[in-house]
Amino acid sequence: MCARWSATSRSNSSAEPVAAPPPRPAAIQVEGLTKAFRTYRKEPGLRGALRGLFRRESELTWAVQQVSFAIAEGELVGFLGPNGAGKTTTLKMLAGLLYPTQGTARVLGYVPWERQDGYRRQFALLLGQKNQLWWDLPARESLELNAHIYGIGPEEFAATVDELTALLGVQDKLRVMVRELSLGERMKLELIAALLHRPKVLFLDEPTIGLDVVSQKIVREFLRDYNARRQTTILLTSHYMADIQELCRRVIIIDHGTIFFDGALSQVLDRFADFKLVTLHCGAGPAWDSARLAEYGEVLQAAAGSLQLKVKRERVIPVCKALLDQFPVQDIDIQEVPIEDIVRQIFAR
C-alpha cells in the first residue's frame, strides 16, 4: 500500500521533462569531399590520331563537388540522384576504392582511402551491376572463400549462412553454379556475401536493379529487418522510389556532384510539391466545364462521373468546399503527389 502510494506520488508530482536520448555518434562523417577526373579528347580522323601522339588535350570533369554530410550509427539513408550525379563515385570514395581530389571523410573513425585492415573488416560495398561471386563455382564455395579472407570460423560461418539464406529464401541454391542462378537468386547471394562478416557499415548501390517485384520486396524486407536487428549503418542508392519510401526516413539528393537536399523524406513533399491531387466521384456524371474548373486548379482528368484536379496546397480546403456545393459528389479523395513524380521533376530541373 505504501509502496503503491509513493510511486503514484512521484508520477503525479514529476513536472520535469523526460530527457531525450543522447544523439548517436556519427558512423560516417564527410566534409567537402570532391573528386575530379581528367578526360582526354581526341580529334576525329587520322590527323587527330597522329596529333594525339604528341599533344593530348584534356579537361577536368567534376564528378563530386564539396559534398558534406554526416550519418549516425544505425541510420538507413537514401542517396538519390540521376545517372551521372556522383552517387557511385561518392560510395567508392567512402569504400576506399577512389582517392578524392580534396576533402575529408571518416567512416567508423577510419580514413577510407588509407585502406587500413581494421576498416576493411567493418564495411561492405555491394554494387548491383558487379559480381563478387565466382561465376563458374557454386555460391557456397565463394562464401567459404570470403570466410577464409575475413578469418571467420566454421561454426560462425555455418550459423551466419544458415540465418541469411533462410531470411532470403535461398537455402537450396548454395550448391548451384552461380551462372545458373536467376538474377534475383544471384543478387540475394551477393547480399549474403557482403554481410558474411557482419559489417557495421553497408554501402548499397542499386541492390534491386533488374529484379522482379517479388524479389524486390524480399530484399527490401530483409534490409529493413537486418538494419533494425543489427543496427548496421546503411547508405542506399536506388532508382526505385519504392526502395527509398519503404526503407529510408532520410534522403540525401545529389545532382551534378552537388548536394542540394538533405533531410526527412516527408520534407521533400513540403519543399518541392506545393500542390495536392483532389479526385471527385459523382454518380450522376455531370458535364464538366473545363474553363470554369480551371479556376480551382489544373484539370488532370475529366471523365464521366470522375474528376481529378491539381490544387495548390493552401487552396485545397476552399476548393473542396466549392466543389461539394457545386456538384453531386459521392466521394472525394485528397492525396499527396507521388514522391516518385516529385523526384523526377527535381531531376528534370
Q: Is the pLDDT of residue 165 over 90?
A: yes
Q: Are residues 35 and 183 in the same domain?
A: yes
Q: Are residues 261 and 281 in the same domain?
A: no
Q: Is residue 16 assigned to a domain?
A: no
Answer with the residue of higher pLDDT: 16 or 152.
Answer: 152
Query: What percentage of the chain has pLDDT greater than the value 90?
Result: 44
Q: Is the pLDDT of residue 306 over 90?
A: no
pLDDT at 5: 39
Q: Are residues 257 and 144 in the same domain?
A: yes
Using CA atoms, how far residue 290 sits from 2, 51, 172, in Å, is 74, 64, 59
Q: Is the pLDDT of residue 202 over 60?
A: yes
Domain containing residue 137: CATH number? 3.40.50.300
- E strand or H helix that includes residue 293: helix 290-293
Q: Is residue 5 assigned to a domain?
A: no
At which of 235, 265, 295 does a domain end?
Answer: 265
CA 326 to chain CA centroid, Å, is: 44
Q: What is the C-alpha separation between 128 and 203, in angstroms, rounded?
A: 11
Q: What is the C-alpha separation between 313 and 250, in angstroms, rounded?
A: 23
Instruction: Find the mean pLDDT for residues 272-279.
Output: 83
Q: Are residues 296 and 317 in the same domain?
A: yes
Q: Is residue 173 assigned to a domain?
A: yes
Instruction: Find the mean pLDDT for residues 331-347.
Output: 78
Q: Are residues 117 and 223 in the same domain?
A: yes
Q: Is residue 17 assigned to a domain?
A: no
Q: Model confidence over 1-22: pLDDT tens digits?
A: 334 333 333 344 444 554 555 5
For the chain, the C-alpha Rg in angstroms (whole number) is: 27
pLDDT at 131: 80
pLDDT at 125: 93
Cell numbers that stand for 200 in this block: 557495421
Q: What is the C-alpha separation between 345 and 347, in angstroms, rounded?
A: 5
Q: Are residues 207 and 315 in the same domain?
A: no
Q: Is residue 15 assigned to a domain?
A: no
Question: What is the CB neighbour count within 10 angstroms for residue 151?
Answer: 9
Q: Are residues 254 and 277 in the same domain?
A: no
Q: Is residue 148 assigned to a domain?
A: yes
Residues contacting residue 246 through CB under 8 Å, at least 6 positions apart: 220, 224
pLDDT at 106: 96
At residue 281's C-alpha, the angle toward residues 275 and 287, to 5°, is 95
Q: Are residues 105 and 247 in the same domain?
A: yes
At which of 219, 247, 265 does a domain end?
Answer: 265
Using CA atoms, how far residue 40 sits from 61, 64, 118, in Å, is 10, 19, 37
Matching residue, cell 587500413: 116
pLDDT at 69: 96
Write down the pTM of the prediction: 0.77
pLDDT at 285: 66
Domain containing residue 294: CATH number? 3.30.70
Q: Are residues 241 and 289 in the same domain?
A: no
Q: Model confidence over 220-264: pLDDT tens digits?
A: 999 999 999 999 999 999 888 888 888 999 999 998 889 989 999
Q: Are residues 225 and 321 in the same domain?
A: no
Q: Order of strands across the sheet with 123-127? A: 123-127, 201-205, 233-237, 76-80, 250-255, 258-264
Query: What percentage of the chain has pLDDT greater than the value 70?
Result: 92
Answer with the residue of higher pLDDT: 240 or 27.
Answer: 27
- Structural domain of 338: 273-348
Ranked by mean pLDDT, the top range of 116-120, 254-258, 285-289 is 116-120
Helix axes 213-230, 154-168, angle to 10 degrees: 130
Question: What is the CB neighbour count within 10 angstroms for residue 290?
Answer: 8
Q: Are residues 190 and 248 in the same domain?
A: yes
Q: What is the C-alpha separation between 179 and 139, in angstroms, rounded?
A: 10
pLDDT at 326: 84
Q: Are residues 203 and 341 in the same domain?
A: no
Helix axes 154-168, 139-150, angle to 10 degrees: 130
At which of 265, 294, 326 does a domain end?
Answer: 265
Least confident of 64-68, 110-114, 265-269: 265-269
Q: How many domains does the chain have?
A: 2
Instruction: Tell me the average pLDDT of the chain.
Output: 85
Q: Is residue 20 assigned to a domain?
A: no
pLDDT at 14: 44
Q: Is residue 306 assigned to a domain?
A: yes
